[in-house]
Amino acid sequence: MAVRPILQFPHAALRTPCDRVESFGADLNALATDLLDTMRAAPGVGITAAHIGILKRLVVIELDRDEGARFYVNPQIVSSSDQTIRHVEGSVSMPGVTDEVARPASILVRYQDLTGEIHEDTADGFSAVCIQHEIDQLDGIFWLQRLSKLRRDRLVKKWEKMRG
């Protein structure tokens, strides 16, 4: 449908908790389609409505174009493993800046689909990392907040230098 402008770090909306989606229908479907188009154009593997300034709990993740996109409405992590993995993360709101983040290796996530139906799925590895990363964003936690202050400060300086 449309590629929308992505908010750039340190925009305040990227640190603002999102509201639950209460209305399921054409508007939500149009927003989901715009998010998918925006994410693919960025390019990225995950995006939230907050990345385009809409503070609603909607996530789009597409790890493999052939498998298609997954839409998570009002997602929440029900449980997570004690085992952790480290993976390089970044954001469509801070392109070109990445670092390793440690997260639980597997999760159980509860969410609604675009029709409002409730689902529970397990995810592990990179999929679990992506879902946790995007749920953090919905909770107003930008991925840099998962880093030590030293690493975070270094990356913010790099970002500011890249932006000119």
State both tokens at 37.
Answer: 């188009």
**Structural domain includes residue 4:** no
**Structural domain includes residue 5:** no
Give the pLDDT confidence score for residue 164 in this predicted structure.
81
pLDDT for 92-127, tens place per residue?
Answer: 999 999 999 999 999 999 999 999 999 999 999 999
Burial 108-137 (b: 16+ CB within 10 A, else e): ebebbebeeeeeeeebeeebbbbbbbbbbb
State both tokens at 131.
Answer: 């879902």
**Active site (annotated) includes residue 67:** no
**Structural domain includes residue 74:** yes
Provide the residue range defining the domain that includes 74: 12-163
Question: Closest Cα partner for 77 from 57, 94, 95, 97?
Answer: 57
**Structural domain includes residue 114:** yes
- Catalytic option among 62, 117, 134, 160: 134
Q: What CATH number does residue 49 fall under?
A: 3.90.45.10
pLDDT for 37-59, tens place per residue?
Answer: 999 999 999 999 999 999 999 99
Residue 61's identity, in one-letter code, is I
The structural domain count of the chain equals 1
Q: How far is CA 55 from CA 15, 52, 103, in A?
A: 10, 9, 24
